[in-house]
Structure 1
């Protein structure tokens, strides 16, 4: 065999269509028989065709590592390293390159560790298949199924590949995830079945005709995977921060170059090229100072650790950036069946006709059911009996299962007295017709069915016969409802309290959806999706009236898979961040389009491949828990960015101002590099920090972020520059300061210590939205890392490691100065937050909507 078997028609392929060809041709084409393959043949075919799975786009470890050297911030570090080499400062070059490689290696290692952990979790979810190998059926990983394998499909199992059924009497499979068909489809020998379908009744054997990307949903998923995706909000935000810092550093570098060039070249008559080299050295210091070297690494590490935390909440993250998208979700579109409801029918109050005892009609319905069957209706009716002892007093003589033609089940039983009875249950109109009711009773029965439908309940007619079916007595109507999960109402309440609007998505009728959504507190204003979206509509450019209707609706009934994409796009056009749940191949476009696509428990491989978040447990509570965790992760990242931008501004402006006004740099290049190490490396433990859970969706607000960080950075500049002026006085040998004397190099050490200490104290200020000493307090890893860093910095300054040593008394004065400023910064921070929030709250509604739309549109 030199090519993969074709499982669908292809006009350009002369090979037979294995879905349509007779079984003998299928066997010949696949070089197999009904006896299956040997283990040796299976191994050869696995090597030839590959594993039976949808391969994710793999990025080599080398490419993942090299990504950390690409982007605005890495470019700035690389430019500084190049400039160091250009002017021959090789120690600086070595330290800068070492720092760059350290950041890349650290981020790569953390990302790889998280990826490996998540891969192990996914491996534990791998489905199994029962294949006929070497003459006997054995359980193997579904990924190892190959074309030509003979497999056995039992009730409740998932078809692992595209197949043709070759043995057995009957099987009914649910193809809704693939074709959108709402009812199971009956199959017989010779029929085909699609990978991802679920067996609902019966058992058959089948020969595999297509695996992996050559299956029905494999080809669909491949089309989704080739679609381009926009950059995430996180990537855009980091890029904007980098652009802001680059622009600012370029402006300051130009100012610094102009001042120094005028001072050292134009004014002097005997200038030398060494002056230009010194100017380049100053520019180098500024460039190093302006680089938030660890920002990409800290964000990656925080997201990676967050992904592991989410996995413990039964939510697997397939894309790290999705965590920040999840934190901003304000609308959650959730499936009804199995997510909001139990996907398990239960009996409601029966409507009685020719009996006065509710237990009588329930017992009759149970006798017309199979107790050992997995049919959900039969299980619900039998479970509705208060006592099942009554069933044991009857002996079943014959049972006729439900079929689409008769639309009812029928059983013949013998009671304890030896009398024969017949019971039937099924579609009410069929049972009513069978019982030949008078017009008044018939009208009452039909109206009862309509009333149940209006309440979102299914109806089953039940009748009995004591004369071998010659005449039937209409006992009444059983009502069936898929009840909400026990935790759904409370979970939705919590979601609403956290600023998340939940919209129900269901393929059921609007009446059924309204009943459930009303019980859960979602609302009972559901729209029929089929009436809202027409075939002529371009889902990518929906008219404003349609998007407005989608936004106002509490949910959607009669939803076909293609409607989900339109719902997501409409909500995004209205400026919302949308999470969408799905489980099938046809859900993949909507999952891909959503800001955060969620593949629910039991989803197909195609849905998982398109989703950002994969749930391993049913229910909505898992999603809400994941959103809460994502908000905490996002808060940690925001706290770091606020601190890092403020500190970067502090360092840049202090270097430029002191050089321009006093003619010397307050920091050496080595000090700058150590600042990066001492400030940023311990800050990576912010990924473990404690944080309050925001009660509303959180997202990147660059205007707010840059405003707050710039103001705090300005205050930090004042703080550092004030200490620099004090230090200049200490250098002046004034009589009243005779006990303090500093050299130029020692003043550099003072400023170095102040920025190292001030940076971490500023982090304690910025990580809290209230007073810095109020809970939540710093996590132990973060606190210990900062304490250890400060001890190291004090020892460096006191003992003269890599810097000029300064007296211990000076170190104490600097720390006292920093603690006073910490209180000042904290009070000013509260005032800034209050002012910014007031400003945002007083914006016009149209302007808020405009900003929201601009922020969230992909």
Structure 2
């Protein structure tokens, strides 16, 4: 049995251990009476997991609660109070759309705790009132005596008190790749599956107090906040604070001019000022930001589905783009979760084929045991067994640790064969000293490589045995695992192995995959009962340095993820079993691999439907593209908000000229943000390294682009005001103040989308990757609409075609300046990053 599943501080004598446990439980080997069981059930509760779920209505309402939803709702209320129904419809529609997309996506996955509950045994065979009966497993209580036989799910945590042998598959609980042999005095865990044998046990824990239940509790407590939601909130806060500051300046200046100075206070004057300020605030609120993010990530989720990766939580897409540490479960993830026979090691006059044939003869063909299946599959000469009949068979038991069969050969001779633990077979064969030393050296060499050794012997009379050889067994790596690890590292990911198996086995697999050999025993890193928040800095640093961990419990995996997150890492965790569920949910991006249990899939944010890990690499590339699309939109949105607000306030305060009407501000919001949804399809190359939200850099670059956009718009405004005063220019193109407003409106519409084309890439605007046809087509269509609005005066004062051409030439000239300064900025940032990395 693996060290990962032994109870600590247990008495060495199993009978003493059983006596102590029965005393502690106030129980006997004869079980409980119905009255006792009923009373205990009232005290401890049912043997079931607490699967209370949050109301779906509460989940839906949560999408309308928070800083950014509040801002959008405020914009809708303001629009309604002003009877501005077109604006109200647009703002409300964006809010409802964002909530609907998020609610639908987050409810695609089944509840993790409900999936865990499915893994529990529905019924149990229990000794009550001195008689055996079948009852619902939920009615079991500590002290009950239960019977467990092959094929059954263990209904609760039990201490085995009677019987010869029980083999349990607990890979989904502990991550061990091999079934575990149990004997009297051992514990069997709720949710594990009995593969062979039958034993009786006393229930020691039920419900949430079982090993299974503690895992479920960790799943319920796990979960990390979304980095994208934090980023959206910070952007909203930044724009709101800026809007209020500029609004105060505007209200103060206009209030003084129109109310205080002329001593002509009236509700009408104040209402006019308030109405314009409210429109300005609506324009400053990034109402389309959540919708753009939802649309972009929903389209990304579809793209990932084509890569055989199903997204169960939209935020996982953005989180995956920033992952810099990948914690990978070993069994079934890096390996095949299928035992295979390595090269047999023959002894004496026997050959390699003899070792496999003799091992197969010591096996029941109908056996479903993982070792037996591996032996039969590895047999290269199955014809050697034809015509033979197995006349007797002694199954494996944890005392003798071997199987023995008696075979009647095709020639009529009877021969005996044995296979089992190396020490059990050597004790049976009793070889000479030299042979025994050679045999033990081979076993030690296999153990050092993390391989499990199986001894094989034969006898003509059943008394005098001869060593045939050794068989090494191993769960081999997946064929694509090594390449996947290499590709992950090339993308800037630090890959760590996390396994319930022994460190020696992990070391061997890690060496084959090129993952490093610095694996630690998890219990040596995390003290018993340790909580992530209480761990010292030295423990966190040890977790960061380690290449992986062996002998891992679910709470260890959970703590590993929490430690890495506390050190500032964005963590992805792959897994397939119940034991992985808490860490999968706690990780920034939990990834359930193909064939994972329901519990693992429900706790994960990304579910792979194809075998192998290469899908993860493809998903990372797609997620980084999605991240960059969202980042480009945020650059553009902040810069344009700064442009519109600063120009409006500066013009009114400095020149007493209103550059935009209220309808123009609303029109710009529609022209800018509705077609920008197509940025979800933009062509962007995936970043070579993990990307994450650097809000300081985002605000600095957006503000720089915003200042350039302000200079562009304000410059045109100054030119236009000078034009109005100079008769020579009026003779060329006649403009009045209302037409100048239209000119500014067109410049903001044209300059905004040209700015988007610049900020969407850190390269020159003329360099690939070029905008997608959908994005380019949407922008062109928007600009055609803007030109028609200005040419025919739809809601604005019409301006001549020459003025429209002049605005386009002006904006294109400024695009060259903005793009050049953008390149200088990113060049400086790259030099600074290299200098920091060199330190």
Query: Any idea what the Cα deviations from partners look like across 1:347-390, whole Å, max 9, x if unmatched?
Result: 22222222252111122112222334332212222222333222
Q: Distance in 1 between matches of 2:89 and 2:148?
A: 58
Q: Per the alignment, in what secondary structure is the counterpart of residue 221 of structure 2?
A: coil
Is 1:731 equivalent to 2:724 in the alignment?
Answer: yes
Q: Distance in 2 between matches of 1:379 and 1:553?
A: 35
Contact kept in structure 2, 1:224 and 1:610, CA below 8 Å: no
Aligned counterpart for 1:60 among listed residues 56, 67, 92 = 56
* Structure 2 partner of 1:234: 228
* Structure 1 partner of 2:589: 596
Alignment of 1:816-835 (within 5 A): 816-835=809-828
Q: Distance in 2 between matches of 1:81 and 1:416?
A: 89
Segment drifting more, 468-477 vs 266-275 = 266-275
- Distance of aligned partners of 1:460 and 1:512 in 2 relative to their CA distance in 1, 3 Å threshold: same
Q: Distance in 1 between matches of 2:673 and 2:242?
A: 21
* Structure 2 partner of 1:480: 473
* Structure 2 partner of 1:803: 796
Q: Distance in 2 between matches of 1:59 and 1:667?
A: 46
Q: Distance in 2 between matches of 1:155 and 1:617?
A: 31
Is 1:297 equivalent to 2:288 in the alignment?
Answer: no
Query: Any idea what the Cα deviations from partners look like across 1:725-761, whole Å, max 9, x if unmatched?
Result: 2222332352244131122222212211221222222
Is 1:98 equivalent to 2:95 in the alignment?
Answer: no
- Distance of aligned partners of 1:842 and 1:261 in 2 relative to their CA distance in 1, 3 Å threshold: farther
Residue 800 of structure 1, CA deviation: 1.9
Alignment of 1:269-308 (within 5 A): 269-270=263-264, 272-308=266-302
* Structure 1 partner of 2:440: 446
* Structure 2 partner of 1:539: 532
* Structure 2 partner of 1:409: 403
Q: Per the alignment, in what secondary structure is the counterpart of residue 338 of structure 1?
A: helix
Segment drifting more, 793-802 vs 109-118 = 109-118
Residue 584 of structure 1, CA deviation: 4.7
Is 1:108 equivalent to 2:99 in the alignment?
Answer: yes
Residue 504 of structure 1, CA deviation: 0.8
Aligned counterpart for 1:324 among listed residues 318, 337, 348 = 318
Is 1:457 equivalent to 2:448 in the alignment?
Answer: no
Is 1:337 equivalent to 2:324 in the alignment?
Answer: no
Q: Distance in 2 between matches of 1:431 and 1:546?
A: 43
* Structure 2 partner of 1:315: 309
Q: Distance in 1 between matches of 2:356 and 2:273?
A: 93
Segment drifting more, 262-271 vs 213-222 = 213-222
Q: Distance in 2 between matches of 1:124 and 1:187?
A: 27
Alignment of 1:370-769 (within 5 A): 370-466=364-460, 468-535=461-528, 537-769=530-762
Q: Distance in 1 between matches of 2:154 and 2:784?
A: 62
Residue 452 of structure 1, CA deviation: 0.9
Aligned counterpart for 1:837 among listed residues 830, 834, 839 = 830
Aligned counterpart for 1:71 among listed residues 60, 63, 66 = 66
Q: Distance in 2 between matches of 1:124 and 1:177?
A: 13
Q: Distance in 2 between matches of 1:22 and 1:298?
A: 63
Alignment of 1:76-91 (within 5 A): 76-80=71-75, 89-91=82-84
Q: Distance in 2 between matches of 1:519 and 1:175?
A: 25
Aligned counterpart for 1:779 among listed residues 761, 765, 772 = 772
Contact kept in structure 2, 1:331 and 1:576, CA below 8 Å: yes
Q: Distance in 2 between matches of 1:634 and 1:781?
A: 18
Q: Per the alignment, in what secondary structure is the counterpart of residue 777 of structure 1?
A: coil
Query: Any idea what the Cα deviations from partners look like across 1:260-304, whole Å, max 9, x if unmatched?
Result: 233333433555544333322332233123211111221122223
* Structure 1 partner of 2:351: 357
Q: Per the alignment, in what secondary structure is the counterpart of residue 374 of structure 1?
A: coil
Contact kept in structure 1, 2:344 and 2:472, CA below 8 Å: yes
| Structure 2 unaligned regions, length at least 5 | 1-24, 39-44, 124-135, 141-146, 200-204
Residue 831 of structure 1, CA deviation: 1.4
- Distance of aligned partners of 1:496 and 1:229 in 2 relative to their CA distance in 1, 3 Å threshold: closer
Q: Distance in 2 between matches of 1:123 and 1:316?
A: 20
Residue 714 of structure 1, CA deviation: 0.9
* Structure 2 partner of 1:793: 786
Q: Distance in 2 between matches of 1:293 and 1:322?
A: 22
Q: Distance in 1 between matches of 2:810 and 2:610?
A: 54
- Distance of aligned partners of 1:601 and 1:54 in 2 relative to their CA distance in 1, 3 Å threshold: farther
Q: Distance in 2 between matches of 1:203 and 1:434?
A: 26
Residue 318 of structure 1, CA deviation: 3.4
Residue 187 of structure 1, CA deviation: 9.5
Segment drifting more, 542-551 vs 490-499 = 542-551
- Distance of aligned partners of 1:800 and 1:19 in 2 relative to their CA distance in 1, 3 Å threshold: farther
Q: Distance in 2 between matches of 1:318 and 1:180?
A: 24
Contact kept in structure 2, 1:325 and 1:595, CA below 8 Å: yes
Q: Per the alignment, in what secondary structure is the counterpart of residue 689 of structure 2?
A: coil
Q: Taking structure 2 as the reference length, what is the TM-score of the superposition? A: 0.83
Is 1:348 equivalent to 2:342 in the alignment?
Answer: yes
Segment drifting more, 822-831 vs 520-529 = 822-831
- Distance of aligned partners of 1:173 and 1:477 in 2 relative to their CA distance in 1, 3 Å threshold: closer
Q: Taking structure 1 as the reference length, what is the TM-score of the superposition? A: 0.82
Q: Distance in 2 between matches of 1:801 and 1:65?
A: 39
Contact kept in structure 2, 1:76 and 1:287, CA below 8 Å: no
Contact kept in structure 1, 2:174 and 2:500, CA below 8 Å: no
Q: Per the alignment, in what secondary structure is the counterpart of residue 514 of structure 1?
A: helix
Residue 533 of structure 1, CA deviation: 2.3
Q: Distance in 2 between matches of 1:688 and 1:56?
A: 40
- Distance of aligned partners of 1:673 and 1:169 in 2 relative to their CA distance in 1, 3 Å threshold: farther
Residue 193 of structure 1, CA deviation: 8.6
Q: Distance in 1 between matches of 2:174 and 2:341?
A: 30
Residue 17 of structure 1, CA deviation: 12
Q: Distance in 2 between matches of 1:159 and 1:577?
A: 37
Q: Per the alignment, in what secondary structure is the counterpart of residue 396 of structure 1?
A: strand
Residue 566 of structure 1, CA deviation: 2.7
Q: Distance in 2 between matches of 1:179 and 1:515?
A: 19
Contact kept in structure 1, 2:594 and 2:609, CA below 8 Å: yes
- Distance of aligned partners of 1:385 and 1:790 in 2 relative to their CA distance in 1, 3 Å threshold: same
Q: Per the alignment, in what secondary structure is the counterpart of residue 332 of structure 1?
A: strand
- Distance of aligned partners of 1:521 and 1:181 in 2 relative to their CA distance in 1, 3 Å threshold: closer
Q: Distance in 2 between matches of 1:160 and 1:832?
A: 63
Contact kept in structure 2, 1:221 and 1:606, CA below 8 Å: no
| Structure 1 unaligned regions, length at least 5 | 1-15, 30-48, 133-144, 205-209, 847-858
Q: Distance in 2 between matches of 1:416 and 1:85?
A: 94
Q: Distance in 2 between matches of 1:324 and 1:358?
A: 53
Q: Distance in 2 between matches of 1:276 and 1:415?
A: 108
- Distance of aligned partners of 1:549 and 1:600 in 2 relative to their CA distance in 1, 3 Å threshold: same
